[in-house]
Amino acid sequence: MRKGRTAREIPPPLELQCLNALWTLGEANVQAVRDFLAPKKSLAYTTVMTMLDRLTRKQVLSRRKLGRSFVYLPLVSRDEVRKLAVRELVESLFDGDETRLRTYLNGSTPAPLQMPSHSMASEHSEPEALDAALL
């Protein structure tokens, strides 16, 4: 989400759950995030602490010392992460074409991709050559 990152931009599921908690809470310490997640997923304190630390190192969260604990604050908005997720989805599953995603979401079947004419000619000759070589 920050410039210079080379890893996948969308946080993995458990990190994303912690980030969702912070978007709802605004800012919180580890225990508050853990308590927020508890009804859906019971996690150890150290697991939540590790996830928040990773998000901090990835510059997705900031943290400040308050008493004996850290308080975490999101540096990216829910909307920013949604945009990245949709872009990744479009690139990986819809050949970079947002129209194909819209068509899919509307329940229509998209027109098949048109292959270049030179590919179509080789497509028909390759199976015949392969059949001949195998027989």
For the segment 7-43, what is each residue's pLDDT rounded down to a tens digit?
458 999 999 999 999 999 999 999 999 999 999 999 9
Assign 125 a pLDDT band (cuts: 50, 70, 90): low
d(CA 135, CA 123): 19
Give the count of beta carbons closer than 10 Å to the beta carbon of residue 94. Answer: 16
User: Residue ranges per domain, the chain?
Assistant: 1-96
For domain 1-96, the CATH class is mainly alpha
Residues 6 or more apart whose CB falls under 8 angstroms from that of 101 comprise 86, 89, 90, 93, 94
d(CA 33, CA 77): 17
Distance of CA 127 to the CA centre of its chain: 38
Q: Are 88 and 16 in contact (CB under 8 A)?
A: no
pLDDT at 119 over 70: no
Q: Are 56 and 62 in contact (CB under 8 A)?
A: yes
